[in-house]
Structure formats: C-alpha cells, structure tokens
Amino acid sequence: MQAERLKVIEPLPLPLHERLFDDGEQLAQALAKQVAADLRGALARHGEACIALSGGNTPKRFFQALSTQTLDWARVTVLPIDERWLPPEHPRSNERLLREFLLQHNAAVARLLPLYRPTETPEAALMPVLTKIANEGLPLDVAVLGMGDDGHVASLFPDLGYDNPALREIGLQPRGRAPVMSIRTATMPEPRMTLTLSAIFTAPALHLHIEGEKKRAVLDGAQRDPRSTLPIRSVLSGAPVTPTLFWSP
C-alpha cells in the first residue's frame, strides 16, 4: 500500500496588472500617456483632478514626459506622496523635484499642494498639513508609487517594524482616518511627512513605477509570500483596485 503523499499548494500571487518595457525611456513615455489619460478622465467626470507622485531619481524622465502632455493642467492639483523635512530649495526636497521636472511646459500652470511647512519638525506641522490635504487634496484621482530596494513605499519603511503601532494602525491601514503621518527612521537622515495608504487608496488609478532587476525581485517576493511584512505587500494586498506595474530593467 502506497504511503499517502501530501500535495503542497503554493499560495497564489497577489493580483497585479503588468506593463513591461525594454528601457526607462519607453516606460516614462507610456506612463506619462496613461497618467494623462487618467487625469483627462477625472477632469471630464468632475471638473478637476488631483494626482500624488513619488520622489527619488527614478521618476525624473516620467515627470518630464508628463509635463508635455496636453490637458487642462490649470485644473490639476499635484502633491508629493511623501516629503523629507527639508526646505524646498534643498537638493533632496521632493517639492523641488516636482517644480524642476514636472511643473514646466504644459504643466507649469498646475497647482502644487506641498507637504512641507517651515517648522522645525514635521510633528509641529502635522495637523495643519493633515487638514489641508484632507480638505483640498483628497480624494485623489491618480497615485503613482515608487518602491525602494527594501520594499518601502511612500515613506513607510520596513525598518519601522510591522509591529510598530503607528505604522500598522495609521500608515498601512487601508481604510484609516489619517491621510498623513510624520515618520522617523534610523536608516534615513531626515524626518519625513508621508501620505498613508488610506489616502493613497482613494485614487481609482493606482500605478507602480519600478525599474531594475533588484527591485523587481523584491516586488515578486512580496507579491508571492503571504508572510511578507514589507510595505509593498500591504499595497498589493490592501488596494481597492488592482495596481498597474510599469517596469523596465
């Protein structure tokens, strides 16, 4: 009599639409066209549109391509998904990044809704920023998230610890009440302000802009491993709409 053999059933990966490109320039152009279409749709539906965008080096080409798209930019509000607590003239400021690479050409007339305030700490500005974003920035129409090599999104970092009450109950809560939170982490030199997932998830168009094989491996691991506590896993598992991945090597 044969011994019974147990069949191991691998968990299904979380859903994710994928658009793959040969290089970053092709990706930037395609993402810009898609986001412009998303914004035109929002403008047609309710006369205005709001988009939240991630910072860093990866989106620069995308921002430049988006800035030349034809739409009624005067009725579009742009806000950073997160911000280092640095003045807007600082090279590491995401507000500066948006002003230099996106708010030019056709997009020069768009309205910028910054997260930074001239206070010593982000905690000191939290309530005014929270109120401003809740009243004038939400709901979003489009959100474009990046991802770090460590699986962080926005300024929601894995080294904060999934058991950190603020990260779990505010930052990663898909239907939380707080649209923004202040962040401090040992691996980053500056404190930050960030949108929470509950704010990001108000966008009916949710895109992930990721480049490079290393980041793709991190994303694939989080997508397939139900034990993963990386913030990108919380995006994939909690999003009310299936995100679309724009990826190139």
CB 196 within 8 A of CB 171: yes
Q: Report which DSSP code applies to 189.
A: S
From the list 204, 199, 208, the residue with the least C-alpha distance to 233 is: 208
Domain boundaries, the chain: 18-248
The radius of gyration of the chain from alpha carbons, rounded to an integer in Å, stands at: 19
Average pLDDT over residues 186-211: 94
Q: Would you state the pLDDT for residue 1?
A: 45
* pLDDT for residue 6: 57
**Mean pLDDT for the chain overall:** 93
- What integer pLDDT is reported at residue 163 of this predicted model? 57
Q: The whole model's pTM is what?
A: 0.93
For residue 42, the model assigns a pLDDT of 98
The pLDDT score that the predictor gives to residue 161 is: 61
Residue 246 pLDDT more than 90? Answer: yes
Q: Which of 14-18, 25-29, 170-174 has the least mean pLDDT?
A: 170-174
Q: Is the dihedral of CA 57, 59, 62, 63 positive or negative?
A: negative
Q: Specify the DSSP element, H or E, that contains 79.
A: strand 76-80
For residue range 123-160, list pLDDT tens digits in order: 999 999 999 999 999 999 999 999 999 999 999 998 77
215 pLDDT above the threshold of 80: yes
Q: Is residue 167 predicted with pLDDT exceeding 80? A: no
Residue 35 — pLDDT band, cuts 50, 70, 90?
Answer: very high
Mean pLDDT across the stretch 52-66? 96
pLDDT at 170 over 80: yes
List the one residue out of 89, 21, 88, 90 whose CA is nearest residue 61.
Answer: 21
pLDDT value at position 200?
98
Q: What is the CATH number of domain 18-248?
A: 3.40.50.1360
pLDDT at residue 53 tops 70: yes
Helix or strand or coil: residue 35? Answer: helix
pLDDT bracket for residue 50 (50, 70, 90): very high
